[in-house]
């Protein structure tokens, strides 16, 4: 989009964030238990998510309500995935699920999907694809912090280094702190020239 042009600072920020994720997850994870197919699937999903955000920005220019966009996306994906699910998982089991199961399904369907996508497209419309998709750099950091807080996992130096690189990358992509620093140095240089 013309309002979200890539700049050298944004590109450097994306690279720093990406390197931060690699440092945090670690190179030994490549080729580990997940296998090559799983790793390729994760990379493909990430690229799809990024492209969907950029493509979804077009809906604002078309004047389409974010609620309609979210409803269309969820309905289309349900229609496409139902035959796949029936093929992979087999025929439906007729046993009646309990209330806990229905509660989980309702929570996933309503809060984690329907409401989340309405918010997603509304934020996409107002803030732009770049700002919306920055959250993907926070997912590994959040996962590691939650694992540390609730699952007794350990935090290593590489995790802190990766988080620092991600924070640096996010600040570069946002650019406000960097522009303030440049403006401050320019102002100081001007004042120094007057003295």
pLDDT in tens, 146-191: 889 999 888 888 889 989 998 898 888 777 777 777 777 777 777 7
Q: Quote the pTM value.
A: 0.61
User: Per-residue pLDDT tens for 53-97?
Assistant: 767 777 777 777 777 777 787 788 889 988 888 888 777 666 777
Q: 121 or 39, which is more confident? A: 121
Which stretches does DSSP call E strand in 121-171? none
Q: Report whether pLDDT(115) > 70.
A: yes
Report the chain's C-alpha Rg in angstroms. Answer: 22
One domain for residues 137 and 194: yes
One domain for residues 77 and 112: yes
One domain for residues 70 and 81: yes
User: CA-based diameter of the chain, in Å?
Assistant: 85
One domain for residues 139 and 191: yes
CB atoms within 10 A of CB 159: 21
One domain for residues 9 and 52: yes
One domain for residues 34 and 53: yes
Q: Report whether pLDDT(1) > 60.
A: no
Q: How many residues would you count in the chain?
A: 195
Q: What DSSP designation does 127 have?
A: H
One domain for residues 53 and 139: yes
Query: Which among 127, 153, 179 is the end of a domain?
Result: 127
Q: How far apart are CA 18 and CA 32, in angstroms?
A: 19
CB atoms within 10 A of CB 124: 22
One domain for residues 87 and 135: no
Name the residue range of residue 43's domain: 1-57+130-195
Q: Which residues contact 164 (CB under 8 A, 6 or more apart)?
A: 20
One domain for residues 138 and 120: no
Secondary structure of residue 150 in the 3-state scheme: helix
């Amino acid at each position: 989009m013309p309002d979200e042009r890539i700049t050298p600072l944004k590109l450097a920020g994306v690279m720093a964030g990406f390197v931060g994720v690699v440092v945090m997850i670690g190179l030994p994870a490549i080729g580990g238990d997940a296998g090559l197919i799983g790793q390729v699937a994760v990379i493909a999903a990430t690229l799809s998510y990024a492209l969907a955000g950029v493509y979804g920005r077009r809906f604002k220019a078309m004047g389409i309500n974010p609620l309609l966009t979210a409803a269309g996306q969820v309905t289309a994906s349900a229609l496409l995935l139902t035959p796949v699910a029936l093929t992979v998982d087999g025929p439906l089991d007729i046993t009646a699920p309990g209330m806990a199961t229905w509660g989980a399904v309702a929570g996933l369907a309503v809060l984690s999907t329907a409401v989340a996508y309405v918010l997603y497209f509304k934020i996409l419309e107002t803030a732009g694809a770049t700002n919306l998709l920055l959250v993907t750099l926070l997912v590994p950091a959040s996962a590691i912090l939650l694992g540390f807080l609730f699952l007794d996992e350990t935090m290593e130096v590489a995790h802190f280094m990766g988080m620092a690189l991600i924070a640096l990358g996010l600040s570069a992509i946002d650019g406000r702190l960097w522009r303030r620093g440049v403006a401050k140095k320019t102002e100081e240089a001007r004042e120094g020239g007057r003295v």
